[in-house]
């Protein structure tokens, strides 16, 4: 009988085209909403990275319409600051719960 890992989930993989139209694979590491905003955000990391020392995390605003996923880059500095702060807060809470 196989032993189930506690809290293990299949990673969510999305495909994002690069500047040349080639689709690259990204793993969604977090989705969240910001208080006081109707927008949803996701943080993703590339599955194949040339730089193995440090994974780069990308943030997008997103909308879901059925099976369609629309991603929007975050260009507003104020919006970016709010998203970054929320992400860091959520990461801190995850670290604390992992240490309990």
Query: How do residues 60-93 score in pLDDT, each as one tens digit?
Result: 999 998 888 999 999 999 999 999 999 999 888 8
Distance CA 53, CA 48 (A): 12
State pTM to two decimals: 0.77
Which one is predicted more confidently, 97 or 13?
13
- Residue 77: CB atoms within 10 A of its CB come to 8
pLDDT score at 54: 63
Backbone angles phi, psi at 57, to 5 degrees: -105, 130
**Exposed (0-12), middle (13-18) or buried (19+): which is 44, by Cβ within 10 Å?**
buried
């Amino acid at each position: 009988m196989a032993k189930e890992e506690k809290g293990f989930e299949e990673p969510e993989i999305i495909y994002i085209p690069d500047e040349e139209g080639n689709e690259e694979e990204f793993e969604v590491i977090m989705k969240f909403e910001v208080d006081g905003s109707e927008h949803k955000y996701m943080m993703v990391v590339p599955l194949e990275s040339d730089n193995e020392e440090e994974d780069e995390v990308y943030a997008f605003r997103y909308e879901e319409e059925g099976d369609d996923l629309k991603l929007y880059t975050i260009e507003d500095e104020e919006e970016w600051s709010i998203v970054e702060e929320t992400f860091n807060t959520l990461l801190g809470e995850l670290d604390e719960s992992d240490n309990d």
